[in-house]
Structure 1
């Protein structure tokens, strides 16, 4: 069931509910979901709309472009660090359904989520591209597949229940503290920022 669509020049974000209190936020910004200011602003707005308008649940983000989850390499752009922090501190469990290559800041965007499901795409980090099994072995992803597998992990981990537990939020903030601090120090050298976030 579609909940809302938010348009930006050349693209759109659509939020659907494939299961009870599971919010699937799918974006399409050809050719490769580049992290432009318009894309970042729309992403942040849609997360805020889900938080403010609907019951607490789980948010899945994914791309409607088959070959790209998200890409981009942005320097000295406060908006991207604000979006990263918004996801790291989001008051619902988040899952990145990586159905296309995640490159540069697009990879960092995926890493800011609580969980990641990867299909046959590649996570492209500083020194190499990781296939799904390599990504799981390195701790970048928790599963291989598509929406069915993402819903399966949500059910298996009981994310709809744990999201309402105060202990979950304190643990989430503690686990993400290093990354949150990196976002707060957005004027730090880009290489240092990426290195810290890759260690999540």
Structure 2
């Protein structure tokens, strides 16, 4: 029997693609393949956003699964240096994709075959559910390791979706790497396995018909309102973040002045001995 052709294929410039297949009726599988590790570039974000739009407006409502054709990685996150140098990247590329996923009018599932780091992990968290290969890969927020602050929606999604506040702290302040079994135990994975297991998960929870009433996306928008608000008002958030940096620098100046005054007093006191 010849293989079933994909529903559609979208190129990712300059190299890569997103392929949409249908492993079961009204279950849509978006497989992205952007070598070497599915970095979340403007082209990647725009192409995935287009794929979501096509499914929403041209196919019957069902369930959308995203996964990687590169088995080692779901996504290795941003090309950070490029992202911070690209004007409007967060507001015009990354955040619109995240908002679309977070409020998508069908159930969404991230099927994670390997590593999901930083923004790749965040993207998985924007889905309704997450299942992961139990034998390969880690989930990790490694911003601490490369000196990147968390922007408001980045912290917010974990604050809203990670059940244990101690786990939330460990994720961020220790950059802990979570394997699938531990992540499932901590409650931010919903299951383990591959495509067949995801299809079984969909059928068990009867997710295919969840979008039929037309309010699925609106309900999610209310549930995750804190993060949605940050994503929608990101330009104001960036201004606040810049203001906070300036205030931090001002506080640092005051703190250094206190230290210098103490050092001067200590030096004077020692010289009198």
Q: Normalising to structure 2: TM-score of the pair?
A: 0.66
Matched residue, 1:34:
39
Matched residue, 2:124:
110
Rounded Cα–Cα distance in structure 2 between residues aligned with 1:107 and 1:182: 18
Q: Does the 8 A contact of 2:65 with 2:108 survive in 1?
A: yes
1:77 partnered with 2:90 = yes
1:57 partnered with 2:71 = no
Q: Does the 8 A contact of 2:105 with 2:218 survive in 1?
A: no
Matched residue, 1:122:
138
1:151 partnered with 2:151 = no
Q: Normalising to structure 1: TM-score of the pair?
A: 0.89
Instruction: After TM superposition, give the deviation of residue 176 of structure 1 in Å.
Output: 1.6
Aligned to 1:121, the other structure's residue is in SS state coil
Instruction: After TM superposition, give the deviation of residue 164 of structure 1 in Å.
Output: 1.5
Q: Does the 8 A contact of 2:105 with 2:214 survive in 1?
A: no
Instruction: After TM superposition, give the deviation of residue 178 of structure 1 in Å.
Output: 1.6
Matched residue, 1:195:
none
Q: Does the 8 A contact of 2:20 with 2:29 survive in 1?
A: yes
Given the superposition, is the C-alpha separation of residues 38 and 166 from structure 1 closer, same or farther in structure 2, using an over 3 Å criterion?
closer
Given the superposition, is the C-alpha separation of residues 168 and 38 from structure 1 closer, same or farther in structure 2, using an over 3 Å criterion?
closer
Instruction: After TM superposition, give the deviation of residue 170 of structure 1 in Å.
Output: 4.2
Report Cα offsets for 1:45-84 as digits up to 9, x if no partner. 1111111111000000000001110122344521101100
Aligned to 2:124, the other structure's residue is in SS state helix
Give the unaligned 5+ runs of structure 1: 193-200
Matched residue, 1:172:
220
Aligned to 2:74, the other structure's residue is in SS state strand
Rounded Cα–Cα distance in structure 2 between residues aligned with 1:163 and 1:112: 17
Matched residue, 2:7:
3
Report Cα offsets for 1:148-177 as digits up to 9, x if no partner. 111111001100122223564443222221
1:41-52 to 2 correspondences below 5 Å: 41-52=46-57
Matched residue, 1:197:
none
Q: Which runs of 4+ in 1 moved over 3 A?
A: 73-76, 165-171
Rounded Cα–Cα distance in structure 1 between residues aligned with 2:187 and 2:219: 18
Aligned to 2:188, the other structure's residue is in SS state coil
Report Cα offsets for 1:17-61 as digits up to 9, x if no partner. 010000000000000000111111101111111111110000000
Instruction: Please identify which structure carries the higher helix content.
Output: 2
Match of 2:107 among 93, 96, 99: 93
- Which has more radius of gyration? 2
Instruction: Please identify which structure carries the higher strand content.
Output: 1
Q: How many equivalent residue pairs?
A: 190
Instruction: Calculate the aligned-residue CA RMSD, in Å.
Output: 1.6
